[in-house]
A and B are shown apart, each in its own frame.
Chain A
Amino acid sequence: QKEVEQDPGPLSVPEGAIVSLNCTYSNSAFQYFMWYRQYSRKGPELLMYTYSSGNKEDGRFTAQVDKSSKYISLFIRDSQPSDSATYLCAMSWSGGYQKVTFGTGTKLQVIP
Chain B
Amino acid sequence: DAGVIQSPRHEVTEMGQEVTLRCKPISGHNSLFWYRQTMMRGLELLIYFNNNVPIDDSGMPEDRFSAKMPNASFSTLKIQPSEPRDSAVYFCASRATDSNQPQHFGDGTRLSIL
Q: Output the nearest chain B residue to A34 by Cβ-Cβ distance.
A: B102
Pair B91/A43 contact, Cβ less than 8 Å: yes
Pair A46/B102 contact, Cβ less than 8 Å: yes
Q: How many residues of B contact A (CB 8 A)?
A: 24
Q: State how many angstroms separate the Cβ of B43 from the closest Cβ of chain A.
A: 4
Pair A98/B97 contact, Cβ less than 8 Å: yes
Give A62-109 interface residues, CB cut-off 8 Å to B: 88, 90, 96-105
**Out of B4, B44, B48, which one reaches A98, CB within 8 Å?**
B48
> Does B105 make an interface contact (CB < 8 A)?
yes
Q: How many residues of A contact B (CB 8 A)?
A: 22
Pair B101/A42 contact, Cβ less than 8 Å: no
Pair B105/A45 contact, Cβ less than 8 Å: yes
Pair B91/A96 contact, Cβ less than 8 Å: no
Q: Which A residues have a C-beta under 8 Å from some C-beta of B?
A: 32, 34, 36, 41-46, 49, 88, 90, 96-105
Q: Which B residues have a C-beta under 8 Å from some C-beta of A?
A: 4, 31, 41-45, 48, 50, 56, 91, 93, 95, 97, 100-108, 110
